[in-house]
Structure 1
Amino acid sequence: MAVTIPADRPDIDPYPLSPYVEWAGKRNRDPILAVFKDLFPQTGDVLEVASGAGLHINYFAPHFPQLRFQPSDYDLKVFDTIKGKRDAADNANVADPIEIDLIRAETWPDPKDRLYDVIFVINIFQVAPLAIASGIAQVAVRLLKNDGILAIYGPFKVDGKYTTESNEAFDKEILAAQVPEWGLKDVRDLEAIAGKYGIVLKKRLDLPANNFILVFGKA
């Protein structure tokens, strides 16, 4: 199996402010945006979990001026970067970032303050533990409106199998780093975990670069 790695791709580094994350974010943002234009409501509130440097939320926001975007992350050190990107783009519909740590329930917002039409998560599962899915599902149950959606983007296995040779090569590359919990996760595992909290998979959408958007909602 010979899979060509793009010549301009930096070394894999999941830190939110790394050159690799910026490269990957710019590569996938337009295909994601195209899908979000179909998924997002006309008006309402959108929460991004694990916003990192804020690249995606600040890219999407100008395309949806009628929506209010809420960035969040567990790492408070990235907040200034998120706000800097917002201010540079003059995104009046992007709020100040808030802390949400998916493994610390005490950081999860009070649903009495705001419910969301959409929660989205981009590119975390290949370098995050599967247990994070439990936190995402619980946050979704807590903060989504009854007809709201949870959209999760990234590369995944399906039924224990790779969907493409390039995803298999990518998984082997990140597994070679021998970092605990790195590696592609299986859609069925995410589905099973989410189901424990009343969050069910509604759609699996194919995107370029052999990635998916998994669309969940309340049962």
Structure 2
Amino acid sequence: MTDSEPRHAPATLRNRDAIVAVLRDILPGQGSILEIASGTGEHAVYFGRTFPNLTFQPSDPDPACCQSIAAWTQREGGHNILPPKQLDAQAPQWDVSKPAAILCINMVHISPWESSIGLFEKAGTLLDPGAPFYLYGPYLREDVETAEGNLAFERSLKSRNLRWGLRDVADMDALAERNGFVRESLTEMPANNISLVYQKS
């Protein structure tokens, strides 16, 4: 694969329609949507096709991912997909226009806790009251038995980086509250994942 070729993440095809079902209820009718940790870019172009009246700003800290995002956008002809920005959740600030909503899919568990802190701090600064902040991925919950597949995934993550791992929903809620958010919903998703929707208060 050359740098100009789009990358493919198999999970995208499995989860994108379930994610869209949640996004239909929370995204505004117009405005710019900032996606953090866009990865391959497949979600961004799919969301762009699904919500043609919205503008999507994909981003990722990895230059190779940004190249993949640009390649997917070019291949799919995404008229409402902006060029990707190289953003790091732990950076002091993000060079982005004020978004109407922020999406973050499958980042929190594959990054240190400091990235989640930075993510919420910047979301709290950028979003206006009432704006949605959407998270998707596997999470732990005190009152719900963790699926064996997620436990195995947790062990795999820790073997790769001890600072990675599944986060507890209660910890995410506490972090959200510290940055001016309240949780609006928790939706069970395919393959033992969860959608968390926070709203700027």
TM-score, normalised by the number of residues in structure 1 = 0.82
Check if 1:97 corresponds to 2:79: no
The answer to whether 1:109 aligns with 2:95 is yes
Mapped to 1, the partners of 2:160 and 2:78 lie a distance apart of 39
- Equivalent positions of 1:14-163 (< 5 A) are 22-106=9-93, 108-109=94-95, 114-159=97-142, 162-163=145-146
Q: Amino acid of the residue matched to residue 61 of structure 1?
A: G
User: How many residues of Structure 1 are paired with residues of Structure 2 in the alignment?
Assistant: 196
**What is the rounded CA distance, in whole Å, between the counterparts of 2:113 and 2:66 in structure 1?**
25
Separation in structure 2 between the aligned mates of residue 153 and residue 190 of structure 1, nearest angstrom: 12
Displacement after TM superposition at 1:184 (Å): 1.1
Q: 1:159: how far off?
A: 2.4
Q: Which runs of 5+ in 1 are unaligned?
A: 1-16
Taking the aligned partners of 2:178 and 2:130, their CA distance within structure 1 comes to 18
Give, in whole Å, the separation in 1 of the partners of 2:139 and 2:87. 24
Given that residues 156 and 185 in structure 1 are in contact (C-alpha distance below 8 angstroms), is that contact kept between their aligned partners in structure 2? yes
Q: In the aligned structure 1, how far is the partner of 2:95 from the partner of 2:160?
A: 34
Tell me how far 1:192 sits from its aligned partner. 1.3
How far 1:90 sits from its partner (Å)?
0.7
Task: Find the aligned partners of 2:160 and 2:144 in 1 and give their Cα distance.
Answer: 20
Deviation, 1:64, is: 0.6
CA distance in 1, matches of 2:57, 2:75: 17
Question: Is the aligned partner of 1:181 residue 2:163?
Answer: yes
CA distance in 1, matches of 2:148, 2:112: 23
Task: Give the percent of matched residue pairs that are identical in Structure 1 and Structure 2.
Answer: 34
Structure 1 Cα separation of the partners of residues 68 and 48 of structure 2: 16
> Counterpart of 2:103 in 1: which secondary structure?
strand
SS of the aligned residue for 2:139 comes to: coil
TM-score normalised to structure 2 length: 0.88
1:117/1:147 contact within 8 Å kept: no
Q: Which has the higher contact order (CA 8 A, sep 6+)?
A: 2
Counterpart for residue 200 of structure 2: 218
Which one-letter code corresponds to 2:186 in the other structure?
Answer: R
Q: Which runs of 5+ in 2 are unaligned?
A: 1-5
Contact 1:133 1:194 in 2 (8 A): no
RMSD: 2.0
Structure 1 segments, 4+ long, off by >4 Å, are: none
